[in-house]
Amino acid sequence: MTFDLRRAYRLNPAATLRPEPFGALAYHFGNRRLSFLKSRQLVSVVRALESHDSAARALEAADVPSRQWGRYAAALAALAESEVIHER
Amino acid sequence: MSAEATSLTEQFKGGLAAPICLTWELTYACNLQCVHCLSASGRRDPRELSTAECMGVVDELERMQVFYANIGGGEPTLRPDFWDLLDYSVAHHVGIKFSTNGVRLDKRASPWRGRRWTTWLRPASANSRSPWW
């Protein structure tokens, strides 16, 4: 699944994030899927999505180095696939 | 991300901040007598939690951010406050899955069918005898 960093996303209202020592657990109350957010910086990115007009801006806001954007795009794609985040 | 991700296995050794889900035997009362019953249910335990105590448990689960509870028993719909507790749990961000024999599912249950936050499990009860509770 490709993930378009130029688009705006947000945390799905049907999903919740629970802080964990490694990052966070995400649970979707509709499809009942559990996802792991394996770094605190990824959690910051997901929380920042709502207040930025693109995922790229959220990555910048969370101080993610540009060389890591590809990896983060893959992680965000997986979260979109699980409906933890969606376009707005 | 990679440096933290590679240590995920190590971090799991410390456990999670809270359970992902838990099993809650809301009542041992049951209107069937299935020979295969795992919990030897039938009679209501006189010590079972009151409505207020159950809501207190839900409050605690919400504080812990436990994602959902699997409610069983016994037959949970025998509790007169069962649907109210379901409403209360969902309003407090605790999803519910519950096991029922289906005998008492009526109009009160229908709004919940297929809704987010709840799942029904209806085990087969081929060996059930007549209700006696």
Asked whether the beta carbons of residue A21 and residue B11 sit closer than 8 angstroms, the reply is yes
Chain A from 29 to 88: CB within 8 A of any B CB: 29-30, 32, 34, 36, 38-42, 68, 71-72, 75
B68·A39 Cβ contact <8 A: no
pLDDT tens track for A27-58: 999 899 999 999 999 999 999 999 999 999 99
The whole-number pLDDT of residue A84 equals: 97
Angle between helix A69-81 and helix A40-49 axes, rounded to 10 deg = 70
Q: What is the pLDDT of residues A73-84, one digit of tens each?
A: 999 999 999 999
B74-126 pLDDT, tens digit each: 999 999 999 999 999 999 999 998 888 888 877 777 666 666 666 666 554 44
Domains of chain A listed by start with CATH number: 9-87 (3.90.930)
| DSSP H/E element including B60 | helix B51-64
CB within 8 Å: A25 and B68: no
DSSP assignment of A22-85? TEEEEEETTT--EEEE-SHHHHHHHHHHTTSSSHHHHHHHTT--GGGHHHHHHHHHHHHHTTSE
- pLDDT for the residue B7: 66
Query: Residue B6: what residue type?
Result: T
User: Structure pTM?
Assistant: 0.83
Count of beta carbons in the 10 Å neighbourhood of residue A2 = 8
Contact list in B for residue A22 (CB cut-off 8 A) is: 4, 7-8, 11-12
Domain extents in chain B: 18-121
| CATH code linked to domain B18-121 | 3.20.20.70
**Tokens encoding A41:** 């910086």
